[in-house]
Amino acid sequence: MHSTMHLYPIDGAAHRVAADETAFSYRDANWAAVIVGVDPDPARSGEATRWCKGYFDALHPYSAGGAYVNFMMDEGQERVQASFRDNYARLVAVKAAYDPGNLFRVNQNIRPMSTVVHTGSEAAAAASP
């Protein structure tokens, strides 16, 4: 198995923009991690996936909790929401205005308002597209 973990610095211009000025809210973070598991033998893909998930599970308690969404795979709506933090509700409203039919729904989808319920001050996904 050929697997690795990359650390990418988050600094410079990323720290000069306020967390609520763009979708990316982790402007106070100093590092982003990418966990990669690959193997030339497709029969071992399950082993690579387990290794990556185990590595993630071990590191996550020490992380800021979210992610840079372009580094994510299919990790669920909760993780998408955590990655946008306080910007999530605003992004749901933008999605509802410009893509109410959820045409752009691949990858780390923000669901339009019609499929989101609000609980307290947070929006939580209620249905799949």
SS3 124: strand
Question: Which residue do the tokens 């410009």 mark?
Answer: 98
The pLDDT of residue 83 is above 60 = yes
SS3 8: strand
Q: Give me 47's structure tokens.
A: 């082993």
* pTM (predicted TM-score): 0.72
SS3 31: strand
Tell me the per-residue pLDDT of 34-51, one tens digit each, with 9 for 90 and over: 999 999 999 999 999 999
Among 85, 86, 105, which Cα is nearest to 95's? 105
Single-letter code of the amino acid located at 72: M
Confidence class of residue 73 from pLDDT cuts 50, 70 and 90? Answer: confident
SS3 43: helix
